[in-house]
Amino acid sequence: MPIHFSNLHKRFGDKHVLRGVDIEVRDGECFFVIGASGVGKSVLIKHLVGLLRPDSGDIYLDGSEVSRLSEKAFYPVRMRCAMVFQHSTLFDSMSCAENVALPLRMHKQLSLEKAMIEAERRLDQVHMLEFAKAFPAELGDGMRKRVAIARALTLDPRYVLFDEPTTSLDPISARRVDKLIFELSRELGVTSIVVSHDLTSIFSIADRIAMLYQGHVRMLGTQDDFRSTVDPIVRQFITGQAEGPMEV
């Protein structure tokens, strides 16, 4: 398995967020991590790229344990494994093209000129070339998200982590982002881990789904497994019922 979280534990003060999470992600799949807000979905994926360190447990990427690497040693990991943040997190002082060029300049030490040419090519892939010189503040949420995806793809990563990619997007923009994630997986063979509670996304593009609940993996399976489950907690979540056994 290219990605393996093994018995992962993480505390923030008194809050024990992850309590022994075990997940394996297969090559080229579109893997969704779902669960209620605050359950630790984003925390989980941030461990993979060293933005957070586990209290205990191991994380394997392509067979190598990565959780104890130094910050500098994580740079090659972050070249292979890109991340699209929940709020796009484009740098306001830079144009869209400069935002997309930044990883090329920092990771690959490309000149500004070469990095900008590549950035424009990436922006074209997400249909944002005409906004290359625009600043993030001039764009809507959906367009900012597409620029953020272009920035994540600029280093040709094998793995892309999406943190709630459709949150705050209108339905049309959300489905465009879903399509982009699906195409990445099917056409380029990119492995995607998507943190989401957007049920439409989950039941349209997910290959497999893991549901986190109270720090553990409550259920792991395909879309069909989730649709046919009798677990009352999982059922409450995927049907969006306000009343039920689930503690939030």
**Binding positions for another protein, rule: CB under 8 A:** 12-13, 46, 49-53, 70-71, 75, 78-79, 82-83, 85-87, 89, 91, 102-103, 106-107
Q: Which is nearer to another protein, 13 or 240 (CB)?
A: 13
**CB of 237: closest distance to another protein in angstroms?**
25
Cβ at position 87, least distance to another protein in Å: 6
Nearest alpha carbon to residue 6 among 21, 26, 28:
21
Crossing angle of helices 96-107 and 112-125, rounded to 10°: 120
In the complex, least distance from residue 56 CB atom to another protein, rounded to whole angstroms: 15
Cβ-based nearer residue to another protein, 61 or 211? 61
Q: Which is nearer to another protein, 87 or 133 (CB)?
A: 87
- Return the closest-CA partner of residue 179 out of 219, 135, 149, 144: 149
Least spacing, CB of residue 222 vs another protein, in Å: 30
Distance CA 89, CA 200 (A): 24
Q: Which is nearer to another protein, 56 or 75 (CB)?
A: 75
- Nearer Cβ to another protein (115/233): 115
Least distance CB 102 / another protein (angstroms): 5
